[in-house]
Amino acid sequence: MSCTIDIIKKENHYLLQMRLIKLNFAFIFFILVNIGQTAAQTEKPFKIGAGLGYTYTGYREETDLPINRYINALNFNINCIYEKNNFYYSLNFGFLSGENEAVEINNSENFFTYYQRESIFIRSYLENALDYKLWGNRVLPGYLGCAIRGDIYYSVLQQSNYYSLTMLLSLNIHVTQKWIINEKNKMIFAVSFPVFGYGFRPPYFGLLYAPLDMEQEITSLHNYRAVFGDLKYHYQICGLFSFYLGLGFEFSHITFPQPRKDALFRVNTGIAFSF
């Protein structure tokens, strides 16, 4: 009889433990769900993201050869956003590296034959912008401000000593337009135009690797015209993570000491963290 009572007691104790475990799991699940909902409802002011993508670009560098070159390459990007009251701060970095096809040019007039080997092309930029809300409402807020932007274009011929370099630092007009579709979906479009800056473009003569002049010049609209645009779609997965898809474009024209033209279109995707 005592054995039967002990068995019943053990079974009751086991059932009580199982009920407590189930209640603990339910309580933990309830807390996590509420934390997630609170995090989703509270908009985080700081967002940092990183991603990869693909770039389609073409350029014409007349300090090298007056021909059009085309490159398709992977790109890497980092972006940061901080929002406080009516201020909107953004920091964007991008980098790509690729190779273009070899080109052969015969110039019988000057008795020169140029053989352009495959060229390694590197493109990088860093843009630091601060905008202030001037128009729109909670769904379509618009911001206007300025940005400090740095751009580098670098290419070098494989198995040769010839290279071309362009470094630009500019003060830009910066515009940001947001479309807050709902709590989870958001689109951000940003565009900037350089108005004043400084450019460094040392010209080189053929494959002799001899600089003719260390060309440096104050840039403005008369010798440097460009537009840089970026469109991002953000989908908020939870309060801490979001997925984004981006489209970007660039058009630029530099006129000193020889003209350079660039056109670029990129697509990228990545993950952003909010806190």
Q: What is the pLDDT of residues 10-23, one digit of tens each?
A: 455 445 555 545 54
Question: Which of 4-8, 154-158, 185-189 is predicted most confidently?
Answer: 185-189
Q: What is the pLDDT of residues 139-179, one digit of tens each?
A: 999 999 999 999 999 887 665 566 788 899 999 999 999 99
Report the mean per-residue pLDDT for the chain. Answer: 80
- Residue 37 belongs to domain spanning: 1-42
pLDDT band at 35 (very low <50, low <70, confident <90, very high): very low
* Greater model confidence, 3 or 187: 187
Do 28 and 83 sit in the same domain of this protein? no
Across the range 119-133, mean pLDDT stands at: 93
CA-CA distances (angstroms) from residue 156 to 225, 235, 268?
25, 40, 26
- Alpha-carbon distance of 190 to 232, in angstroms, equals 9
Across the range 193-208, mean pLDDT stands at: 75
Across the range 173-196, mean pLDDT stands at: 95
Question: Which pLDDT value is given to residue 15?
Answer: 54
**Of the candidate ranges 19-33, 85-99, 188-202, the one whose mean pLDDT is the lowest:** 19-33
Do 32 and 66 sit in the same domain of this protein? no
Is 137 a residue whose pLDDT tops 80? yes
Please choose, from the candidates 270, 269, 267, the residue with its C-alpha nearest in 3D space to the C-alpha of residue 55.
267
Q: Residues 156, 111: contact at Cβ < 8 Å?
A: no
Do 115 and 229 sit in the same domain of this protein? yes
Is 36 a residue whose pLDDT tops 50? no
CATH number for the domain including 185? 2.40.128.90
Across the range 128-148, mean pLDDT stands at: 95
Question: Which pLDDT value is given to residue 106?
Answer: 57
Do 207 and 82 sit in the same domain of this protein? yes
Nearby residues of 115 by Cβ (< 8 Å), 6 or more positions away: 102, 104, 105
Do 200 and 149 sit in the same domain of this protein? yes
